[in-house]
Amino acid sequence: MAKKKTEFDVIVAGAGPAGATVAAILAKEGCSVALLDRETFPRPKSCVGWVNPRTEDLLKGLGVATKKLLARPIGDVIFHNANLSQYSVPKMTACPGYFVDRGAFDEQLVRAAKKAGAHLLEEHDVSDLNPLESGVEVVTSNGERLTCKLLVLAVGATTKLRARVGLKRSESRGVRWTAMVEQVIDTKPKGARPKGAAAISRMDIILGVTPENGLAVLARQPDRIALFVNSPGERNFIRDRLVELAAALRAREFVPEGFAVDPSSIVCAESCHDPALELDSHVGKNTLTIGDAGGFVAAVSQEGIYPSMWSAQIAADVIRDALAGDQSQDALMTFDTRWRLAMGDYLRPPNTDLQLLAPLIFSNQPMTDRMAKAFFFGENI
């Protein structure tokens, strides 16, 4: 029997959108890459599944077929205030994005990485990282030890491993939660859709749903409805807010009567905690941190899939340089400048407090349109 390979140029810990993207790019270029995940793919992943339209180019660049994956463009977009008494409809000049099946999306990315030549190691739970003189040792919970010249940490939002590469969580910042509920439901209008009637896939964005300026998204697709609340604060408070909001949406007939939220069906996950822009560095000894693990989430929309893949693309460029030269750590250090230059504006919160802007969003069309551009395309308001 062939001996199992344990030494790689690059090990990527976590095979979500961030990890699979960097693994696919580097493996395609001939690097020996191990892509580790504690799960087996396809794995379920709670997610509204909204991706912005630029994701299409990233997927195509990885050789992922987009026709089926991006078959559900978002039709209408509507902003609401917190008690649903006011709304405004932005004039969208470009498609705001797509709703994707998140399980299928992540699986396709992992397949692309595998096809490019990455060694996919499922059910490999990374439990420890040991910096070596010229590399990193990765230890899994079943005792396997793998080594690499460079490590990419892409293990998502909540992980102790970040501390092992010197990324400490800021104590001053409270925890941010995402609570979500999804129901398979028939939202199709009966009969043919009348001309000019609302599109079937629609995104209602509810602003200021918590005192901490939380955000809610109601995503309606032909066969499912998802409601998500994202906010700093207490976990139970965010969950309760989701239940209240669902009742208010039902009362206003924004969702069908059948959209009843059973608290036990709510998924509540810790969101990306420290925004990338607030971390001093994403570079540890022979290590880069990307995706949710590095706080690569857009401030206005809390969108994370596209920024995760984007951070992975930049990391791949940096790793290519690091592996090619003698001073790999110096090359790795350029990651901080490179992602900030490319992604800083996209990730940054607006200059003006959203709570102050909210009344204008509901009374002034240009402001509604600017809010939409900030939300969907990361532009400043």
Ligand X SMILES: Cc1cc2nc3c(=O)[nH]c(=O)nc-3n(C[C@H](O)[C@H](O)[C@H](O)COP(=O)(O)OP(=O)(O)OC[C@H]3O[C@@H](n4cnc5c(N)ncnc54)[C@H](O)[C@@H]3O)c2cc1C
Residue closer to ligand X, measured from CB, 109 or 322: 109
Q: How many CB atoms lie within 10 A of CB 302?
A: 19
Contact set for ligand X, span 249-278 (CB under 6 A): 267, 269
Q: Could you tell me how far CA 8 lies from the centroid of its own chain?
A: 27
Region of 60-68, 128-136, 151-159, 314-322 interacting with ligand X (CB under 6 A): 151-159
Paired tokens of 380: 């400043």
**Identity of residue 29:** E
Contact set for ligand X, span 89-128 (CB under 6 A): 125-126
Asked if 308 interacts with ligand X (CB under 6 A), we say yes
Smallest distance, ligand X to C-beta of residue 10, A: 15
Looking up tokens 């062939």, which residue turns up? 2
- Residue (of 318, 294, 296) closest to 307 by Cα position: 296
Q: What is the DSSP secondary-structure string of 25-80?
A: HHHHTT--EEEE-SS-SS-------EE-TTHHHHHHHTT---TTTT--B--EEEEE
Contact characters 10-29, ligand X, x per CB under 6 A: ---xxxxxxx----------
Which listed residue (10, 70, 153, 180) binds ligand X by CB under 6 A?
Answer: 180
Contact 206, 371 (CB under 8 A): no
- Residue (of 25, 75, 66, 91) closest to 323 by Cα position: 25
CA dist., res. 157 & res. 127, Å (int): 16
Asked if 310 interacts with ligand X (CB under 6 A), we say no
Smallest distance, ligand X to C-beta of residue 333, A: 22
Asked if 204 interacts with ligand X (CB under 6 A), we say no
Asked if 79 interacts with ligand X (CB under 6 A), we say no
Smallest distance, ligand X to C-beta of residue 103, A: 11
Which listed residue (287, 303, 310, 335) binds ligand X by CB under 6 A?
Answer: 303
Asked if 315 interacts with ligand X (CB under 6 A), we say no
Residue nearest to ligand X (CB): 304
Q: Could you tell me how far CA 27 lies from the centroid of its own chain?
A: 23
**How many residues touch ligand X (CB under 6 A)?**
38
Paired tokens of 236: 């139970």
Residues forming contacts to ligand X in the complex (CB under 6 A) are 13-19, 36-39, 46-51, 125-126, 154-156, 159, 161, 178, 180, 228, 267, 269, 291-293, 297, 303-306, 308
